[in-house]
Structure 1
Protein backbone atom coordinates (compact mmCIF):
# COMPACT_ATOMS: atom_id res chain seq x y z
CA UNK A 1 0.00 0.00 0.00
CA UNK A 2 2.84 2.39 0.83
CA UNK A 3 4.39 1.75 -2.60
CA UNK A 4 1.11 2.58 -4.35
CA UNK A 5 0.69 5.75 -2.28
CA UNK A 6 4.28 6.79 -3.02
CA UNK A 7 3.71 6.16 -6.75
CA UNK A 8 0.51 8.26 -6.72
CA UNK A 9 2.30 11.12 -4.93
CA UNK A 10 5.20 10.94 -7.40
CA UNK A 11 2.87 10.99 -10.42
CA UNK A 12 0.92 13.93 -8.94
CA UNK A 13 4.14 15.84 -8.27
CA UNK A 14 5.39 15.21 -11.79
CA UNK A 15 2.05 16.33 -13.26
CA UNK A 16 2.21 19.52 -11.20
CA UNK A 17 5.77 20.14 -12.41
CA UNK A 18 4.74 19.65 -16.03
CA UNK A 19 1.84 22.07 -15.62
CA UNK A 20 4.07 24.71 -14.02
CA UNK A 21 6.78 24.46 -16.70
CA UNK A 22 4.63 24.37 -19.82
CA UNK A 23 3.00 27.85 -19.59
CA UNK A 24 6.35 29.54 -18.94
CA UNK A 25 7.91 27.87 -21.96
CA UNK A 26 4.91 28.64 -24.15
CA UNK A 27 5.09 32.33 -23.19
CA UNK A 28 8.64 32.60 -24.55
CA UNK A 29 7.70 31.72 -28.14
CA UNK A 30 4.95 33.57 -30.00
CA UNK A 31 3.39 33.08 -33.42
CA UNK A 32 3.04 35.89 -35.94
CA UNK A 33 0.85 35.92 -39.02
CA UNK A 34 1.99 33.44 -41.63
CA UNK A 35 3.00 30.98 -38.87
CA UNK A 36 6.23 32.80 -38.09
CA UNK A 37 7.65 31.78 -34.68
CA UNK A 38 9.54 34.41 -32.73
CA UNK A 39 10.99 35.23 -29.32
CA UNK A 40 8.10 37.01 -27.56
CA UNK A 41 10.20 39.45 -25.52
CA UNK A 42 11.59 41.04 -28.71
CA UNK A 43 8.18 41.44 -30.38
CA UNK A 44 7.30 42.08 -34.01
CA UNK A 45 8.47 45.37 -35.53
CA UNK A 46 6.07 46.83 -38.07
CA UNK A 47 7.30 49.17 -40.79
CA UNK A 48 5.35 51.23 -43.33
CA UNK A 49 6.89 51.84 -46.74
CA UNK A 50 6.23 55.09 -48.65
CA UNK A 51 4.55 53.15 -51.47
CA UNK A 52 1.78 52.01 -49.10
CA UNK A 53 3.14 48.50 -48.58
CA UNK A 54 4.14 47.07 -45.18
CA UNK A 55 7.02 45.09 -43.71
CA UNK A 56 7.44 43.17 -40.47
CA UNK A 57 10.57 41.98 -38.68
CA UNK A 58 11.18 39.71 -35.71
CA UNK A 59 13.88 37.71 -33.92
CA UNK A 60 13.12 34.08 -34.76
CA UNK A 61 13.51 31.07 -32.51
CA UNK A 62 16.88 30.52 -34.23
CA UNK A 63 17.91 34.06 -33.09
CA UNK A 64 18.20 35.25 -36.69
CA UNK A 65 16.24 38.25 -37.99
CA UNK A 66 13.24 37.36 -40.14
CA UNK A 67 11.15 39.60 -42.40
CA UNK A 68 8.07 39.55 -44.59
CA UNK A 69 6.41 42.24 -46.69
CA UNK A 70 3.26 42.97 -48.63
CA UNK A 71 2.90 43.22 -52.38
CA UNK A 72 -0.48 44.52 -53.55
CA UNK A 73 -1.75 43.85 -50.01
CA UNK A 74 -0.70 40.16 -49.87
CA UNK A 75 1.95 39.02 -47.39
CA UNK A 76 5.08 37.19 -48.53
CA UNK A 77 6.48 34.21 -46.64
CA UNK A 78 8.86 34.86 -43.76
CA UNK A 79 12.45 35.14 -45.03
CA UNK A 80 15.58 34.92 -42.90
CA UNK A 81 17.97 37.88 -42.98
CA UNK A 82 20.54 35.80 -41.09
CA UNK A 83 22.09 36.26 -37.69
CA UNK A 84 23.13 39.87 -37.00
CA UNK A 85 26.88 39.58 -36.77
CA UNK A 86 29.34 40.55 -39.50
CA UNK A 87 31.57 37.71 -38.28
CA UNK A 88 28.81 35.09 -38.01
CA UNK A 89 29.32 34.29 -34.33
CA UNK A 90 26.59 36.28 -32.55
CA UNK A 91 22.82 36.17 -32.70
CA UNK A 92 20.03 38.70 -32.14
CA UNK A 93 19.57 39.84 -28.55
CA UNK A 94 17.26 42.88 -28.61
CA UNK A 95 14.12 44.23 -30.25
CA UNK A 96 14.55 45.33 -33.87
CA UNK A 97 14.42 49.02 -34.77
CA UNK A 98 13.91 50.35 -38.28
CA UNK A 99 15.05 53.73 -39.61
CA UNK A 100 14.46 55.27 -43.01
CA UNK A 101 16.39 57.88 -44.94
CA UNK A 102 14.67 59.57 -47.87
CA UNK A 103 16.68 61.41 -50.51
CA UNK A 104 15.52 62.77 -53.86
CA UNK A 105 16.33 59.50 -55.64
CA UNK A 106 16.40 56.80 -52.95
CA UNK A 107 14.55 55.44 -49.91
CA UNK A 108 17.09 53.71 -47.65
CA UNK A 109 15.93 51.39 -44.85
CA UNK A 110 18.15 50.11 -42.05
CA UNK A 111 17.22 47.50 -39.46
CA UNK A 112 19.37 47.58 -36.35
CA UNK A 113 19.64 45.87 -32.98
CA UNK A 114 22.10 44.68 -30.39
CA UNK A 115 23.54 41.22 -30.92
CA UNK A 116 24.51 38.65 -28.28
CA UNK A 117 28.11 40.00 -28.25
CA UNK A 118 26.72 43.38 -27.18
CA UNK A 119 27.52 45.02 -30.53
CA UNK A 120 25.10 47.44 -32.20
CA UNK A 121 24.62 46.04 -35.72
CA UNK A 122 22.57 46.93 -38.77
CA UNK A 123 21.60 45.80 -42.22
CA UNK A 124 20.71 48.28 -44.98
CA UNK A 125 18.66 48.17 -48.15
CA UNK A 126 19.42 51.09 -50.45
CA UNK A 127 15.97 51.28 -52.03
CA UNK A 128 12.64 49.46 -52.04
CA UNK A 129 12.96 46.20 -53.95
CA UNK A 130 16.75 46.03 -53.76
CA UNK A 131 18.71 43.35 -51.89
CA UNK A 132 19.86 43.86 -48.32
CA UNK A 133 23.55 44.55 -47.68
CA UNK A 134 25.55 42.40 -45.23
CA UNK A 135 25.30 42.96 -41.47
CA UNK A 136 27.56 45.81 -40.41
CA UNK A 137 28.35 48.09 -37.47
CA UNK A 138 26.42 51.34 -38.28
CA UNK A 139 27.59 54.71 -37.02
CA UNK A 140 24.12 55.97 -36.33
CA UNK A 141 21.02 55.43 -34.26
Structure 2
Protein backbone atom coordinates (compact mmCIF):
# COMPACT_ATOMS: atom_id res chain seq x y z
CA UNK A 1 0.00 0.00 0.00
CA UNK A 2 2.88 2.38 0.82
CA UNK A 3 4.38 1.75 -2.62
CA UNK A 4 1.09 2.61 -4.32
CA UNK A 5 0.82 5.86 -2.33
CA UNK A 6 4.44 6.69 -3.15
CA UNK A 7 3.80 6.07 -6.86
CA UNK A 8 0.70 8.29 -6.78
CA UNK A 9 2.58 11.08 -4.99
CA UNK A 10 5.49 10.79 -7.46
CA UNK A 11 3.11 10.91 -10.44
CA UNK A 12 1.44 13.99 -8.95
CA UNK A 13 4.78 15.74 -8.48
CA UNK A 14 5.84 14.96 -12.07
CA UNK A 15 2.47 16.18 -13.38
CA UNK A 16 2.83 19.35 -11.31
CA UNK A 17 6.29 20.00 -12.76
CA UNK A 18 4.98 19.53 -16.28
CA UNK A 19 2.28 22.10 -15.64
CA UNK A 20 4.73 24.48 -13.96
CA UNK A 21 7.12 24.57 -16.95
CA UNK A 22 4.47 24.67 -19.68
CA UNK A 23 4.27 28.15 -21.22
CA UNK A 24 1.22 30.18 -20.33
CA UNK A 25 -1.30 30.73 -23.09
CA UNK A 26 -0.44 34.08 -24.69
CA UNK A 27 -3.21 36.53 -25.43
CA UNK A 28 -3.57 37.59 -29.04
CA UNK A 29 -4.56 40.87 -30.66
CA UNK A 30 -5.62 41.68 -34.22
CA UNK A 31 -3.91 44.31 -36.34
CA UNK A 32 -5.35 46.43 -39.09
CA UNK A 33 -5.06 44.21 -42.12
CA UNK A 34 -6.19 41.14 -40.16
CA UNK A 35 -2.87 40.00 -38.68
CA UNK A 36 -3.03 38.12 -35.37
CA UNK A 37 -0.12 38.71 -33.02
CA UNK A 38 0.99 38.16 -29.42
CA UNK A 39 -0.32 41.27 -27.59
CA UNK A 40 2.53 41.26 -25.04
CA UNK A 41 5.13 41.81 -27.80
CA UNK A 42 3.28 44.64 -29.55
CA UNK A 43 3.77 46.08 -33.02
CA UNK A 44 7.17 47.41 -34.09
CA UNK A 45 6.83 50.35 -36.49
CA UNK A 46 9.77 51.06 -38.77
CA UNK A 47 10.15 54.11 -41.01
CA UNK A 48 11.47 53.50 -44.53
CA UNK A 49 12.74 55.88 -47.21
CA UNK A 50 10.39 58.29 -48.99
CA UNK A 51 7.83 58.13 -46.17
CA UNK A 52 7.04 54.45 -46.58
CA UNK A 53 6.46 52.32 -43.48
CA UNK A 54 7.03 48.78 -42.28
CA UNK A 55 5.63 46.85 -39.33
CA UNK A 56 6.79 43.71 -37.51
CA UNK A 57 4.85 41.51 -35.09
CA UNK A 58 5.26 38.12 -33.44
CA UNK A 59 2.36 36.05 -34.73
CA UNK A 60 0.34 33.53 -32.76
CA UNK A 61 2.67 30.90 -34.29
CA UNK A 62 5.64 32.77 -32.66
CA UNK A 63 7.12 33.54 -36.09
CA UNK A 64 7.99 37.12 -37.06
CA UNK A 65 5.54 38.66 -39.54
CA UNK A 66 5.91 41.86 -41.54
CA UNK A 67 3.99 44.16 -43.83
CA UNK A 68 5.00 47.40 -45.55
CA UNK A 69 3.60 50.27 -47.56
CA UNK A 70 4.17 50.97 -51.23
CA UNK A 71 2.69 54.21 -52.48
CA UNK A 72 0.98 54.52 -49.09
CA UNK A 73 -0.91 51.20 -49.44
CA UNK A 74 -0.22 48.33 -47.03
CA UNK A 75 0.90 44.92 -48.31
CA UNK A 76 -0.47 41.67 -46.94
CA UNK A 77 1.28 40.18 -43.91
CA UNK A 78 4.29 37.95 -44.81
CA UNK A 79 6.09 35.52 -42.52
CA UNK A 80 9.82 35.88 -41.87
CA UNK A 81 9.83 32.64 -39.86
CA UNK A 82 11.66 32.16 -36.60
CA UNK A 83 10.48 31.03 -33.18
CA UNK A 84 10.79 34.06 -30.94
CA UNK A 85 9.70 35.09 -27.46
CA UNK A 86 10.13 38.88 -27.41
CA UNK A 87 9.23 42.09 -29.17
CA UNK A 88 10.89 42.53 -32.56
CA UNK A 89 13.49 45.31 -32.71
CA UNK A 90 14.25 46.96 -36.06
CA UNK A 91 17.25 49.16 -36.87
CA UNK A 92 18.55 50.51 -40.13
CA UNK A 93 21.62 52.15 -41.58
CA UNK A 94 22.68 53.34 -44.99
CA UNK A 95 24.92 50.86 -46.78
CA UNK A 96 28.42 51.74 -47.92
CA UNK A 97 26.95 52.78 -51.26
CA UNK A 98 24.84 55.37 -49.41
CA UNK A 99 21.82 54.73 -51.58
CA UNK A 100 20.26 51.65 -49.98
CA UNK A 101 18.80 51.27 -46.54
CA UNK A 102 20.01 48.14 -44.73
CA UNK A 103 17.56 46.85 -42.12
CA UNK A 104 18.19 44.39 -39.30
CA UNK A 105 15.47 42.85 -37.16
CA UNK A 106 16.18 40.97 -33.95
CA UNK A 107 14.27 39.16 -31.22
CA UNK A 108 14.93 36.68 -28.45
CA UNK A 109 14.67 33.03 -29.45
CA UNK A 110 13.39 30.14 -27.38
CA UNK A 111 17.02 29.40 -26.43
CA UNK A 112 17.36 32.82 -24.73
CA UNK A 113 19.74 34.17 -27.39
CA UNK A 114 19.12 37.18 -29.63
CA UNK A 115 18.51 36.17 -33.24
CA UNK A 116 18.55 38.45 -36.28
CA UNK A 117 17.81 38.70 -39.98
CA UNK A 118 19.28 41.33 -42.29
CA UNK A 119 17.86 42.89 -45.46
CA UNK A 120 20.78 44.45 -47.35
CA UNK A 121 18.55 46.93 -49.19
CA UNK A 122 14.93 47.69 -50.01
CA UNK A 123 13.46 45.08 -52.33
CA UNK A 124 16.22 42.60 -51.53
CA UNK A 125 15.78 39.24 -49.81
CA UNK A 126 16.26 38.82 -46.05
CA UNK A 127 19.23 36.73 -44.90
CA UNK A 128 18.55 33.56 -42.87
CA UNK A 129 18.18 33.87 -39.07
CA UNK A 130 21.53 33.97 -37.22
CA UNK A 131 22.44 34.17 -33.55
CA UNK A 132 23.90 37.50 -32.45
CA UNK A 133 27.00 37.51 -30.29
CA UNK A 134 28.59 40.46 -28.45
CA UNK A 135 29.66 43.13 -30.90
CA UNK A 136 27.73 41.52 -33.77
CA UNK A 137 25.17 43.51 -35.69
CA UNK A 138 24.86 46.10 -38.42
CA UNK A 139 27.82 48.40 -38.85
Compute the TM-score of the two structures, normalised by the length of structure 1.
0.73
The answer to whether residue 105 in structure 2 is matched with residue 111 in structure 1 is yes
- The corresponding residue for 1:125 is 119
- The corresponding residue for 2:7 is none
Higher helix share: 1
- The corresponding residue for 1:140 is 137
Question: What's the Cα RMSD here?
Answer: 1.9
Count of aligned positions: 110
Give how far 1:132 is off: 0.7
The answer to whether residue 46 in structure 2 is matched with residue 47 in structure 1 is yes
Give how far 1:106 is off: 2.7
Kindly provide the CA deviation profile for residues 99-134 of structure 1, in whole angstroms up to 9, marking residues without a partner as x: 111132331000001111101110000001111110
Provide runs of 4+ in structure 1 moved above 3 Å. Answer: none
Pick closer, same or farther for the CA change 1:140–1:39 going to 2, 3 Å.
same
Counterpart Cα distance in 2 of 1:82 and 1:123 = 10
| Structure 2 counterparts to residues 1-141 of structure 1, below 5 A | 28-83=27-82, 91-103=83-95, 104-138=98-132, 139-140=136-137
Counterpart Cα distance in 1 of 2:47 and 2:66 = 13
Unaligned residue ranges in structure 1 (runs of 5+): 1-24, 84-90
Pick closer, same or farther for the CA change 1:116–1:26 going to 2, 3 Å.
closer
Compute the TM-score of the two structures, normalised by the length of structure 2.
0.74
Counterpart Cα distance in 2 of 1:35 and 1:50 = 25
Kindly provide the CA deviation profile for residues 74-112 of structure 1, in whole angstroms up to 9, marking residues without a partner as x: 1000000011xxxxxxx1100010011113233100000
SS state at 1:51 partner: helix
